[in-house]
């Protein structure tokens, strides 16, 4: 498996500093703009979506690659109609490459968010949990300096989100880095040593599928969620399993998971309704979205108090 964090040593350190400041790789267009897409009820938004990979120096002799997806115009540049966009930092699951969440990243960006995904050695974020904060540092610096497609694009507000092992790391990063106003944990829970109970006033969300690993994970997820201070929100997505969150599950993934009872597209749409409302409520101060969360107005998602 290819390592995601590149290491250099000795004479190469000085050249590494210059390389880390270089521009992004080629921009990839993932979705074209379409005003007919409303972005409502879990659907994609009207913006196009493009992404590019950037690099930042880390830990003196490392270079961390990270990707940013943004709301794009027809040519793949930043869509000025999106205004300054809030940041969603997404952390991939253990041994699950970040690009297997392309559907979710594209969905958020089409609704006007900029989505940042740092890479990690061996696709294990737990050993390099700071990569996400380092990537945020660099992305904000590029935006403020007017460099590249993110020139002037990024707003000051951010949330961190992760799936599976990435959710555990996201909770830790949320506690460690106050720039992340909220944390969304997908099919996962915070480690016992992460003091989430001390974060009163900072919003958290925990979502898990009813079929996650045969349903055995839902009770533990709820018990771990109960440690979070308010405001908090917990939901079980009907029919969804652990790997419905990621594309192209392997045979080994499926062998360890429960059998989904709804089509993947339907489960993802149900989950997206909640995620969209949560992000809009806490990063955009959307009173309608916050009211929907308080009323639990989400079909196929069972909420717990």
Locate 193 and state its tokens: 């040593």
DSSP of 249-263: --HHHHHTSPPPSS-
Cα–Cα distance measured from residue 50 to residue 47, given in angstroms and rounded to the nearest whole number: 10
Token pair 């997404």: residue: 90
Instruction: State the residue range of the domain holding 239.
Output: 5-304
Locate 96 and state its tokens: 């699950």
Per-residue model confidence (pLDDT) at position 21? 34
Beta bridge partners of 56: 64
DSSP of 77-120: SB-GGG-SEEEEEEEPPTT--GGGGHHHHHHHHHTT-EEEEE--
Cα–Cα distance measured from residue 295 to residue 277, given in angstroms and rounded to the nearest whole number: 12
Per-residue model confidence (pLDDT) at position 170? 98
Could you report the per-residue pLDDT of 207-244, keeping only the tens digit for each? 999 999 888 899 999 999 999 999 999 999 999 999 99
Cα–Cα distance measured from residue 174 to residue 161, given in angstroms and rounded to the nearest whole number: 9
Over the chain, what is the mean pLDDT?
90
143 within 8 A of 153, measured Cβ to Cβ: yes
Beta bridge partners of 89: 116, 160
Residues listed for the chain: 305
Could you report the per-residue pLDDT of 124-145, keeping only the tens digit for each? 999 899 999 999 999 999 999 9
167 within 8 A of 186, measured Cβ to Cβ: yes
Could you report the per-residue pLDDT of 144-201, keeping only the tens digit for each? 999 989 899 999 899 999 999 999 999 999 999 999 999 999 999 999 999 999 999 9
Could you report the per-residue pLDDT of 26-52, keeping only the tens digit for each? 899 999 999 999 999 999 999 999 999
Parallel, antiparallel or unpaired: strands 204-209 and 232-237: parallel
Please measure the distance between the N-terminal and C-terminal CA atoms of the chain and give it in whole angstroms.
Answer: 41
What DSSP element (H or E) covers 134? helix 131-145
Number of compact structural domains in the chain: 1
Per-residue model confidence (pLDDT) at position 4? 52
What is the CATH classification number for the domain harbouring 92? Answer: 3.40.50.1820
């Amino acid at each position: 498996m290819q390592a995601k964090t590149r290491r250099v040593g000795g004479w190469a350190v000085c050249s590494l500093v210059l390389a880390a400041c270089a521009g992004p790789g080629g921009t990839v267009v993932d979705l074209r703009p379409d005003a007919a897409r409303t972005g409502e009820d879990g659907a994609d938004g009207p913006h196009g979506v493009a992404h590019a990979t950037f690099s930042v120096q880390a830990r003196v002799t490392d270079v961390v690659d990270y990707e940013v997806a943004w709301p794009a115009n027809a040519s793949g540049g930043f869509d000025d109609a999106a205004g300054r966009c809030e940041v969603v930092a997404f952390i991939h699951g253990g041994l699950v490459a970040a690009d297997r969440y392309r559907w979710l990243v594209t969905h958020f960006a089409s609704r006007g968010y900029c989505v940042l995904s740092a890479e990690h050695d061996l696709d294990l974020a737990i050993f390099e949990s700071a990569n996400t904060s380092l990537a945020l540092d660099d992305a904000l610096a590029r935006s403020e300096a007017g460099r590249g497609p993110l020139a002037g694009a990024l707003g000051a507000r951010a949330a961190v989100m992760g799936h599976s092992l990435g959710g555990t790391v996201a909770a830790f990063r949320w506690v460690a880095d106050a720039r992340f106003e909220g944390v969304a944990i997908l099919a996962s829970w915070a480690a016992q040593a992460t003091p989430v109970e001390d974060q009163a006033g900072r919003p958290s969300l925990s979502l898990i599928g009813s079929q996650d690993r045969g349903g055995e994970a839902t009770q533990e997820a709820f018990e771990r969620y109960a440690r979070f201070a308010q405001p908090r929100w917990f939901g079980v997505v009907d029919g969804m399993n652990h790997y419905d969150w990621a594309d192209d599950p392997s045979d080994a993934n499926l062998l360890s998971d429960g059998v989904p009872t709804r089509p993947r597209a339907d489960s993802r749409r149900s989950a997206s309704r909640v995620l969209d409302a949560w992000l809009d409520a806490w990063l955009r101060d959307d009173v309608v979205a916050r009211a929907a969360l308080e009323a639990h107005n989400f079909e196929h998602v069972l909420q717990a108090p």
